[in-house]
Amino acid sequence: MQAGAKNVFCLIELTELAGRLGGPIPASRPTAPPRLRLVAMQDTIHNGARKFLLISSEEAFARRISDLVCAAMPGAEVTLESTADAGLAMVATNSFDALLFDVPEANTAALFQITSLTVQAPRLPLLVIGPHEDGTYLAEAVFSGAQEYLGREQISSATLSHAILCSIARQQEHLELVAEKNNYYDIFDHLVEGIFRTTVSGRYLLANMALARIYGYDSPVVLMASIKNIADTLYVDHGRREEFMRLMQENDTLSGFESRIFRKDGSIIWISENCRAVRDAQGKVLYYEGTVEDISERKRAEEQIRRATGELSRSREELRTKNSLMEESLRTAREIQLTMLPQQYPTFPPSVTPDHSAFQFVHRYEPAESVSGDFFSVTAISDTEAAVFICDVTGHGVRAALVTAMIRALAEELKPVARDPGSFLRKLNFDLCSILKNTGSPMLTTAFYAVADAQTGKLRFANAGHPKPLLVRRAQGAVEPLANTSGRSQPALGLFDDPPYQTSETSLAPGDFLMLFTDGLYEVQGQNEELYSQERLMLDVKNFFNHPPGILFDELLSVIRNFAVNGQFDDDVCLVGMDFLGWQAATP
């Protein structure tokens, strides 16, 4: 069971304990032992003047008590009032440290007066001085709200001082516990998750405010009063409660139990329940308790995905037809594939010549066979934004080339999400998986997609398992791999049905050069089975980065061929470069 669920069950148990005791939740922080608290209170009282209110109808006895207080606590001030009403009036306009209430007779009327004083002055410690009788009346006085009870016959300077100190200390501890209780209930009622406890028969024993809100009720009290039978009132599907109980009987715990339920207004939502069964010593189920989460939004999203899948299925036949036409044209596959690559590059802004474009592009494309599994495109998605896409299908030759053709066709249909690289790759992956899963032999494709804004210099990109492009910052003399913001790799296309792809962002400065490539560029074996690596690639690019992009690519290809044991590349190779001159330079 998850830690969060365990914490919630602890909250439920503490809630029941507080309700059963009729008092506050025990304080979670450590408190001083009673004797230490009393000593500290005594030091505080003796070190400063204290004010006490004494309510007594017997003037002589009242003066005696006043004298004893002043003798025990030098500097203390005692205010005398003859009735409880007069005392309450005095409390309303003055501040006192404790209230001393003289009860001449042990009767019910006196108990009512104790309760009244406690209710109307709840923060004021109350010491009752009354007849010295059996413990029954003493207990009733304390139950009515007194912190301490002192018999008249017991009164002395020492006993009175001690009783006052005890009443103040107990009241202080009581107020702290009440604050803890209120704080706890505030947390319990403001949790996002609904919390419940129900009987086996389907009645609520406990609920929090979040559960009431989820089910559309004004408060937990209204919810528990309204729902008498969970099976009939809540669950939309017949037998769902019985299924819940069957699983609970078998497992004692349940996680992620999803159901449709009726809210108070009759509307239907989806919920997910986590629950445990609580049993007695004999193994009999006493009740169920757990949490509820509203998952309606997630369910709606899943339904939208299902509809989108249905739309894709309707277009699958058309895509199969396109694939058949491609197979019939294999004899001209190389020419067709080359025409699929950019024949000329867009300019930014469109009105300038290529020499004055803010972005200038260059590429080198070398298939290992007659056709290649590498593909790239450069498109203008606005007057200032260029989109650069590169991909590498596993393997090479005709089979890989057919997949690149499908990717090109799918990519052309993604113009609505072209500005968001993460969404672009996610939709492309979804469409590609839907096609390839019917072939019985999945084809993985690495891909990188970037959108660069010539006016702002912002570069947004997403990577699907592709080799990290190199960003050459000529002004700084640096070559750095273009990594995702999270620092984590993301899966290749065609590997999972619907993984998320993160859009990352960086800034381009005039003079920066972005170099995209496929893994055929560096997966080359040299003498003694030594492999050309990405680290070596970065060093060689740094040696040539001051050259014009076309010459840089040619020099780099030459160096790697010379490294190769057979003097050539074993895999398809594709390089795409984007040189950023800056928006200010893009003027006719």
What does the pLDDT read at residue 139? 85
What CATH number is given for 194-294 in this structure?
3.30.450.20
Structure tokens given for 585 = 């330079």
As a whole number, mean pLDDT of residues 19-27 equals 41
Helices 296-328 and 398-412, interaxial angle, to 10°? 130
Domain 340-580: CATH superfamily is: PPM-type phosphatase domain (3.60.40.10)
pLDDT tens across 461-486, in order?
999 999 999 999 999 999 999 999 88
Answer whether 274's CB lies under 8 Å from 247's CB: no
Identity of the highest mean pLDDT range in 18-27, 148-157, 285-294: 285-294
pLDDT tens across 215-257, in order?
999 999 999 999 999 999 999 999 999 999 999 989 999 999 9
What does the pLDDT read at residue 308? 87
Domains 194-294 and 340-580 share a fold: no
Residue 386 to residue 577: CA distance in whole angstroms:
12
- Flag whether pLDDT at 495 surpasses 90: no
CA angle 265/270/272 to nearest 5° reads 125
**What's at 392, amino acid-wise?**
D
Q: How many helices (H) and strands (E) does the chain have?
A: 17, 20
As a whole number, mean pLDDT of residues 335-344 equals 78
**Total-model pTM:** 0.46
- Flag whether pLDDT at 330 surpasses 80: no
Q: Where are the domains of the chain?
A: 31-188, 194-294, 340-580
pLDDT tens across 508-546, in order?
999 999 999 999 999 999 888 889 989 999 999 999 988
DSSP label of 492: P
Residue 344 to residue 378: CA distance in whole angstroms:
9
What does the pLDDT read at residue 15? 52
- The 3-state DSSP class for residue 297 equals helix
Q: In what order do the strands lie in the sheet with 504-507?
A: 374-380, 385-393, 445-453, 458-464, 504-507
Answer whether 193's CB lies under 8 Å from 7's CB: no
As a whole number, mean pLDDT of residues 567-571 equals 89
As a whole number, mean pLDDT of residues 254-262 equals 94
What does the pLDDT read at residue 37? 45
Third-level CATH fold of 31-188: Rossmann fold (3.40.50)
What rounded mean pLDDT belongs to the chain?
85
Q: Which of 183, 175, 147, 179 is nearest to 163 (CA)?
A: 147
- Flag whether pLDDT at 58 surpasses 70: yes
What does the pLDDT read at residue 423? 96
pLDDT tens across 81-136, in order?
999 899 999 998 999 999 999 998 888 888 999 898 988 988 899 989 988 766 78
Cis upstream peptide for 349 (omega within 30°):
yes
- The 3-state DSSP class for residue 231 equals helix
Least confident of 35-49, 286-300, 354-368: 35-49
What does the pLDDT read at residue 26? 40
Residue 459 to residue 467: CA distance in whole angstroms:
17
